[in-house]
Amino acid sequence: MEVALFGNPNTGKTSLFNILTGSYEYVGNWSGVTVEKKVGILKESAGRLIDLPGIYSLNPLSKDEGIATQFLLNESFSVALNIVDASQLERNLHLTIQLLEFGKPVVIGLNMIDVAKSRGIHIDEKALGKKLGASVIPIVARTGKKCQFLSKQLTPREEDAEPLHIDYGEKVEESIDQLVSLMPEDVRLNKRWLSLQFLEGNKVVRENLTSLIDKEQLNKICTELESQIIIEKDTKSIKQYLYAKRQQFISEVVAESVEKGQTSGRTFTQTIDAVVTNKFLGIPIFLLLMFLVFTLTFNWLGTPLSDGLDAFISGPLTDWLKAGLTNVHATPFIQSVILDGIVAGVGGVLVFVPQIFILFFFISLIEDSGYMARVAMVMDRVMESVGLNGKAFIPLIIGFGCNVPGIMAARTIEQPKERLLTTLLTPLMSCSARLSVYSLFVAAFFEKHQALIVLSLYVLGIIVALVLAKIFTFFIKSEGSVFVIELPPYRIPQARTLLRSTWDKGKGFVRKAGTFIFGGTVAIWFLSYAGPHGFDVPIDESFMAVICGYIAPLLAPIGFGTWQAAGALVTGFLAKEVVVSTMNVLYFVPDGQTLTGIISHFYTPLQAYSFMVFILLYVPCLSTVAVIQKEAGSKKWTAFSIGYALVVAYLLSLVVYQGGQWLGLH
């Protein structure tokens, strides 16, 4: 049995999904956290639950909203589970009606009844269910209240439900009849629903219908109806007319099932909003919060933990492994591959796990609390000046964690050109993988100002993205940027959800350490162990040194023309953490010392900063390139995203290094 989960954004859809399926999915408190359809196994009954992106209506405005409509048209399912926000009932019911018109059995989860009650709204779920012709179950998805009961209602039905039938008035009904009669007999979907959605202007349905009915005929029916309706009914479009008809039906339903009492005064959300979206304080507060997050991640919490882990891996763990390997009489080759290759490479990356998890924890906190939408609002003016809108800032922030989900989050942007721009610029956001490189360098060179130096790189990434956005808009002509966003009420994130969310984001990093980085370091170790003159050669005569020696001179003007640096950059294309593992292998860290300790012999602080700037910008990693290709759908743009990044990285590092030298820094 397949159950599809539909609902407006910010109604607790993903929370419900997590409770019903027992498995974890990403939860957030801003429109568009679910950017792809996700599937989980239902706990109570044998079946699968499909989580779809949040939508206000089946008529999509953005790419992610289109996914839900595509699903209805192309996939089969037994029951639609519609989650409805009780405190926003009327708005939510517009989607419910469209689902009921579709004709599949619908179960309604009436969520946030606690919030509704506190606002003085009392809903008689039996009366509501009776009017709508579907079962309505009040739940609180955040706490799991009544969710098991809801789950038991999700049973496969023998027959499809009787579709809801609203009388849309003579003219519309005539057009529907016309359209229905034009459709071939074997159409699997509800023909009335298809006609209605088409008349409303649903692009996805329209595309579907043009394969069945002649385009000219479709257009004719639509324009005829429009002209009649606008004159006779004093309305502006068919869409608005249908909306009004549905609203009329909803008002009747609500009149019989909802009682509204007195609402209390200023809410919790209003009080916070008065500060965080304050005219003058909004942006400073945002920057201050980000600085606090970085200080916590680096100076206060993350670094002590990482240092401890580093000392453990390079000290006791290496000694134990060495003793163990000697005991089993492992050959020097095996000893070298394990100790100098795997432990140095994979271990060198794993030491950054604490910092990365702390950063992910804060990103989850920002998402779940509802602050993200405020950030979009506060940043809109800045984004507008470079031809983007405030919503594009959300993918950028998510990109701080990992560029891949960041790029996927760009789907919530309505205008295709703005979406493309955001996709191209998100890789400039300094992801957590790059963090491992900075952590290494700031600990070695900028011990006193770690958080500040790292923050400067994050800010540099944002500034470069904004400047490039401005430049790119001269070439990619925009259709005119728009911005409209719902600011959901603040919700105190639950510890359990936060921890799961942090783990969900961070586990990819740990998994990468076991796959990509493991494989990568073994390969790098081998290339540094073997050379043109045989095995176990001095590292300066290895294949690695020979190959990367050709690239090194190119990097000399930007401050790090060594074959080791070149090697780290080349292998960093696989994943940015590999830069650190490669350095661990190539700089051949002696026993009892850490890479942090010896790297200061190979770079000056200015060279180190120039290197970090280059790492920040130079190319998106392999996984990011793959997702750009998928989202932009064009090889040209993918190649462009790599090319422009290399050019910009080289130029900026050149400015930093040469400029720094000119100023007398070293």
Partner 1 sequence: MILTELKPGDKGKITDVSKVTALVQSRLLDFGVLEGKEVCYKYALPFGGPCMLEACGQCIGIRRKEAMCIQVEQS
The span from the CA of 396 to the CA of 372, in Å, is 11
Cβ burial 54-83 (10 Å sphere, 16+ → b, else e): bbbbbbbbbbbbbbbbbbbbeeebbbbbbb
Cβ proximity of 108 and 102 under 8 Å: no
Cα dihedral 102→237→30→504 (10° resolution): 40
- At 345, the amino acid letter reads G
Q: How many CA atoms lie within 13 A of 537 on its CB side?
A: 17
Query: What is the sign of the dihedral through the CA atoms of 576, 581, 585 and 589?
Result: positive
272 binds partner 1 (CB under 8 A): no
Pairing of strands 79-85, 48-51: unpaired
In this chain, which of 482, 492, 646, 655 binds partner 1, going by CB under 8 A? Answer: 482
The span from the CA of 161 to the CA of 99, in Å, is 11
Cβ proximity of 551 and 570 under 8 Å: yes
393-452: contacts with partner 1 (CB under 8 A): 414-415
- Identity of the residue, 55 or 652, whose beta carbon is nearer to partner 1 in the bound complex: 55
485 binds partner 1 (CB under 8 A): yes
The annotation status of 10 as a binding-site residue, yes or no, is yes
87 binds partner 1 (CB under 8 A): yes
The span from the CA of 193 to the CA of 161, in Å, is 13
Task: Tell me the window of 43-51, 234-242, 315-323, 340-348 that interacts with partner 1 (CB under 8 A).
Answer: 234-242
The annotation status of 471 as a binding-site residue, yes or no, is no
The span from the CA of 449 to the CA of 119, in Å, is 48
Task: Tell me the window of 66-74, 189-197, 237-245, 431-439 that interacts with partner 1 (CB under 8 A).
Answer: 237-245
# residues near partner 1 by CB under 8 A: 38
Task: Tell me the window of 83-91, 153-161, 214-222, 333-341 that interacts with partner 1 (CB under 8 A).
Answer: 83-91
Q: Shortest gap between Cβ of 91 and partner 1 (angstroms)? A: 5
The annotation status of 35 as a binding-site residue, yes or no, is yes
Task: Tell me the window of 54-62, 98-106, 144-152, 293-301 that interacts with partner 1 (CB under 8 A).
Answer: 54-62
571 binds partner 1 (CB under 8 A): no
The annotation status of 13 as a binding-site residue, yes or no, is yes
The annotation status of 111 as a binding-site residue, yes or no, is yes
Q: Shortest gap between Cβ of 169 and partner 1 (angstroms)? A: 18
The span from the CA of 558 to the CA of 618, in Å, is 13
Strands of the sheet containing 106-111, edge to edge, are 38-41, 48-51, 2-7, 79-85, 106-111, 135-138
In this chain, which of 53, 66, 138, 282 binds partner 1, going by CB under 8 A? Answer: 282
252 binds partner 1 (CB under 8 A): no
249: CB partners within 8 A, 6+ apart = 97, 166
Structure tokens at 284: 């400073």
- Identity of the residue, 39 or 482, whose beta carbon is nearer to partner 1 in the bound complex: 482
Task: Tell me the window of 310-318, 374-382, 523-531, 643-651 that interacts with partner 1 (CB under 8 A).
Answer: 374-382
484 binds partner 1 (CB under 8 A): yes
- Identity of the residue, 126 or 381, whose beta carbon is nearer to partner 1 in the bound complex: 381
In this chain, which of 69, 111, 175, 277 binds partner 1, going by CB under 8 A? Answer: 277
The annotation status of 34 as a binding-site residue, yes or no, is yes
The annotation status of 113 as a binding-site residue, yes or no, is yes
410: CB partners within 8 A, 6+ apart = 392, 395, 419, 422, 423, 426, 631
Closest CA to 481 of 374, 375, 373, 391: 391
61 binds partner 1 (CB under 8 A): yes
Interface with partner 1 by CB under 8 A: which residues?
56-57, 59, 61, 87-88, 90-91, 94, 119, 236, 239-240, 243, 247, 269, 273, 277, 279-280, 282, 373, 376-378, 380-381, 384, 390, 414-415, 480, 482-487
Which residues contribute to the annotated binding site for Mg(2+)? 18, 21-22
Which residues contribute to the annotated binding site? 7-14, 18, 21-22, 32-36, 51-54, 111-114
